[in-house]
Structure 1
Amino acid sequence: MATKTEKRIERDFYEFVCNSELAKSISGTVYRKGMRPTDSNKEDIVVKFLAGMDEQVQSGIMVLNIYVPDTTIRSTGAKVEDIKRIDELEELALSFVENNDSNEYDLSKDGTPKSLEAEGIEQHFIQVRIKYRRITI
């Protein structure tokens, strides 16, 4: 197998995610880096290539950012992290990594998925770092 470029690997992961249970469970869409609309208020996944090494085994890191709109506290009207939904999506993201059936890529976690505040948009996102290995010989 020939070595793949950053964009081809990103496209492969985009397709894996689009066809996954994780993608079916969100209210929004799967996007490649830079394509998510800035005004989206849905649960969206952004697939992003982070790093790669070209050798007999091509390896690197992909990132999935899973956006989750904040929820409103009824008594005060304040927007807060939707912890219950984030917990559910973190579990689905782990399942995506652990149960991927790709014949070309071997996937593993690169740390624990974590939620972070998406500044200025009343959303949080789960950052999932995925190590990949792809045999090129």
Structure 2
Amino acid sequence: MEILVNSIQKNSDDFNEKIDKYIKMSKKYAKINDNVIFNDMIAKAQSKTQKDALIAYDKVYLPKLEGYNVALDEKGKILDSYEFAKLFSGKNKISFFIGGAFGLSDDFKKSTDAVISLTKLTLSHKIAKLILFEQIFRALCINANHPYHK
């Protein structure tokens, strides 16, 4: 199984070590890639308007739709860990998408297979991403009957 986590954010070195820990622990179950995207087009668009930013996000994300696509959005469906683990069942490739400062466009969310929320709380991108990687590892363990979830 291959899992791709795509995020629009400036590099956050302070969380990379923690995220790398979950990627390393998950390697026996799946190949995981952390794709951080931030370029001049996004930076300029974000300094203009929300509409410009969402268009820029779509331009970088639409070509990355691969396999089973999951958008993270505060208005998405909230799953427990077992429901989240079911997302992985029977899939060869899963792509997760974390929006930029303005989230994700409605058109992009409609182009994905699922829209989920990690919590009703508003989280910084760094914390949301860390929680996502921990939940990915937890889901892989649940599906492998590994005792980590207990």
TM over 0.5, yes or no? Answer: no
More helix by share: 2
More strand by share: 1
RCO higher in structure (CA 8 A, sep ≥6)? 2
TM-score when normalising by structure 2: 0.27
> Which structure is larger by alpha-carbon Rg, 1 or 2?
1
